[in-house]
Amino acid sequence: MSAGRADARGIVLVVDDSPHTLAMLIDALEDGGLTTLVARDGLAALELLDRIEPDLILLDAVMPGIDGFETCRRIKQRPDMATTPVIFMTGLSDRAHVAEALRAGGVDYVTKPVAPDELIARISVHLVNAQMIADARRALDAAGRAVAALRPDAAASWASPRARSLLGRLPDAAQWRAPLKTWLAAMSREALSQSADLVVATPDGGSLKFIAIGRAVSGDILVRVAAATADPGALLARKLAVSLREGEVLAWLARGKSNRDIAEILGLSPRTITKHVEQILAKLGVENRTSAAALAIRVIDHA
């Protein structure tokens, strides 16, 4: 019986050491309109991933050499594979493996012998979800936002191209990992809104600023990365053709501060800040403070 066609086409990497299972899966997946890649063990899969990025991975839990759980953990350590869905295959008597599979980074599992219709249905759902995540990340990339998800060890589980470029200025050395790890550890003990920004010096004589913006479901800390500047107000004044005072106001707008907050910070009256904001909107040709803040963030990020 035909397994039906997948709603979302894609490339699926199948990792299994059984020739019989591989043959069955290849037939089912290709019948479902999917392109299939094959690896006979975990190491072969990891080597293949150095050359090709599949849309989904179908992974046997128990294999010779490194098992499926360790293979999945190594896959998920790769920033480019962080959101790639991994579906585990496990025997009917191996239900205890399910929890381990999910902890290793799997998103789902199917039991052997695999039912082709069920397999294609599950793959279709996960391909659609993965595509939605990819679209969201592309939107960040198109906007030039430098956003990353950092694990407790300060490694990025994923990062936008702009963030990867900035993070590339930091060598893999203790002198920058230590302050980042300390800063990230503090996030688990306090509200993100109460966390101070972190500035880390780079070997090229510059510095990077890390700003916490949220917490992922995985527990990773979502951060915005910016090339730190000693005076963001002056930078905005120069880049956006506003006055120095307006640049200062705009810099605080970009950090989400209200007019009253900015007035207290700069020692001015709220009415004066309101006038500055009105002038900023007019000079930048934007409709509201949110648009002005977004423009300012982009300028600071690309400094």
2 in a structural domain: no
Tokens of 214: 């949220």
Are residues 120 and 186 both part of a single domain? no
Q: Which residues, 6+ apart, have CB-to-CB distance to 164 below 8 Å?
A: 79, 148, 156
The whole model's pTM is what? 0.56
Are residues 260 and 206 both part of a single domain? no
Are residues 125 and 193 both part of a single domain? no
Burial profile 69-90: b = 16 or more Cβ within 10 angstroms, e = fewer: bebbebbbeebebbbbbbbbbb
Are residues 153 and 129 both part of a single domain? no
* Residue where one domain finishes, among candidates 86, 117, 140: 140
Amino acid at 266: L
Amino acid at 169: R
Pairing between β-strand 35-39 and β-strand 11-15 as defined by DSSP bridges: parallel
Are residues 106 and 150 both part of a single domain? no
Cβ 213 vs Cβ 222: under 8 Å: yes
Q: What is the CATH number of the domain that holds 88?
A: 3.40.50.2300
Are residues 195 and 166 both part of a single domain? yes
Are residues 18 and 135 both part of a single domain? yes
32 in a structural domain: yes
pLDDT at 100: 87
Residue closest to 256 by CA, chosen among 192, 178, 162: 192
3-state DSSP helix/strand/coil percent for the chain, to nearest 5? Answer: 50, 20, 35
Q: How many residues would you count in the chain? A: 303
Are residues 15 and 126 both part of a single domain? yes
41 in a structural domain: yes
168 in a structural domain: yes
* Residue where one domain finishes, among candidates 185, 206, 227: 227
Please state, in angstroms and rounded to a whole number, the distance separating the CA atoms of residues 226 and 235: 13
Q: What is the CATH number of the domain that holds 199?
A: 3.30.450
User: pLDDT tens, 67-93?
Assistant: 999 999 999 888 778 889 999 998 866
Are residues 183 and 282 both part of a single domain? no
3 in a structural domain: no
Are residues 30 and 89 both part of a single domain? yes
Q: What is the CATH number of the domain that holds 281?
A: 1.10.10.10
1 in a structural domain: no
Q: Mean pLDDT, consecutive 10-residue segments, the chain of 303 residues?
A: 48 93 92 92 94 93 91 88 90 74 89 90 90 75 78 83 82 73 79 75 78 81 80 87 93 91 92 95 92 87 66
Domain range for 279: 232-301
* Residue where one domain finishes, among candidates 81, 107, 140: 140
Q: Coil, strand, or helix at residue 149?
A: strand
Are residues 95 and 156 both part of a single domain? no
Cβ 106 vs Cβ 59: under 8 Å: yes
Q: In total, how many domains does the chain have?
A: 3
Please state, in angstroms and rounded to a whole number, the distance separating the CA atoms of residues 41 and 59: 9
| DSSP secondary structure string for all residues of 49-97 | HTT---SEEEEESS-SSS-HHHHHHHHHTSGGGTTS-EEEEEETT-THH
5 in a structural domain: no
Are residues 114 and 148 both part of a single domain? no
39 in a structural domain: yes
